[in-house]
Amino acid sequence: MEPQAETRRDAPPPGGKPGVMALPPGARAAVAVALGAVTVLVAAHLAAVFLHVAPSNTLSKRYGELVSEHINPEFEQNWKLFAPNPLQQNVAVHARAEVLRPDGTTERTGWVDLSAMDADDIRGNPFPSHTDQNELRRAWDFFTGSHDQENRPNGLRGELSREYLKRIVMLRFGAELNGGEVRKIQLRSATTPVGAPPWSGESSSTETAYRVLPWWAVDGTDVPEGK
């Protein structure tokens, strides 16, 4: 009796084709279309990021507004780490809320240091998340960069930055806080200059300066689901 040849489990069936080619023509066409769409989207995103960080050129001037709408705020790039004059201030973002209690009275909470919450999540963590490191910091930079000193927005970017900040705060506070429903929120920044090192012989003020924003009303659209 002759020994039978071993059949490989990963071998295609006799007369068949492996992988995608084994699918019906309609399914193969759908896979090709999906792959093509993903390739185009990835290429468009990479092109937008490149135009955003590249020096001013003909394409970035022509499509600058479209690129900004795609990049900001989630994909915004920032190269201050490599600037000749690095940042010499510690900027913390605080928030508080006005809540409506069941008995109809309102109460304002104390200031909550949101930056300190992120720092606590980062400290001692060898692999801190991108959200803890950058979300709040970049959102505040986005807001200050699109508003004047009177907190007036400079066009649509300013309005978008305000809504983005509101979402971040409400994601942390939730719809209810301290036994009441959150109706308004307020943010402020606390900027503290980094003192000169003792060996420099320089004297500098390390007094904290505050920038307080107006109260913003919130509603159901500002509260993420499940919060």
What is the tens place of the pLDDT at every residue in 180-224? Answer: 999 999 999 999 988 877 777 777 788 999 999 999 999 878 776
- Provide the pLDDT for residue 3: 52
Helix, strand or coil, per DSSP, at residue 45: helix
Spell out a b/e string for 82-100, using b for 16 or more CB atoms within 10 Å of the CB, else e.
Answer: eeeeeeeeebbbbbbbbbe
Which residue has better confidence, 98 or 82?
A: 98
pLDDT at 84: 56
Kindly report, residue by residue over 42-75, the tens digit of the pLDDT. 998 888 888 887 777 787 788 888 888 787 766 7
DSSP state for residue 22 in the 8-state scheme: G
State both tokens at 42.
């990835």
Q: pLDDT band for position 111 (50/70/90)?
A: very high
Which segments of 123-205 does DSSP mark as H helices, in order? 130, 136-145, 156-173
At 68, is the secondary structure helix, strand, or coil? Answer: helix
Q: What percent of the chain has pLDDT over 70?
A: 83
**CB proximity list for 31: less than 8 A, separation 6 or greater:** 20, 23
**Residue 195: predicted pLDDT:** 81
For the cut 80, the answer to whether the pLDDT of residue 153 exceeds it is: yes
Q: What is the DSSP letter of 200?
A: G
Confirm if 140 and 91 have CB atoms less than 8 A apart.
Answer: yes
What is the CA 97 to chain-centroid distance, rounded? 22
- Work out the mean pLDDT of the chain and round it to a whole number: 83
What whole-number distance in Å separates Cα of residue 195 and Cα of residue 190?
15
* pLDDT band per the 50, 70, 90 thresholds, residue 92: very high
The stretch 125-133 carries a mean pLDDT of 88
Any idea how long the chain is? 227
pTM over 0.95: no
Band of the pLDDT at 83, cuts 50, 70, 90? low
Spatial CB neighbours of 153, under 8 Å, sequence gap ≥ 6 = 146, 147, 159, 161, 162
- Average pLDDT of the residues in 90-112: 94
Give Rg (Cα) of the chain. Answer: 26
Q: What is the mean pLDDT of residues 114-143?
A: 91
Give the torsion through C-alpha atoms of 185, 118, 138, 208, to 10 deg.
70
- Residue 163 confidence (pLDDT): 92
Residue spans of alpha helices (H) in the chain: 25-53, 58-62, 64-71, 114-122, 130, 136-145, 156-173
Quick one: pLDDT at residue 143? 94
Average pLDDT over residues 89-104: 93
As beta bridge partners, residue 189 has 93, 211
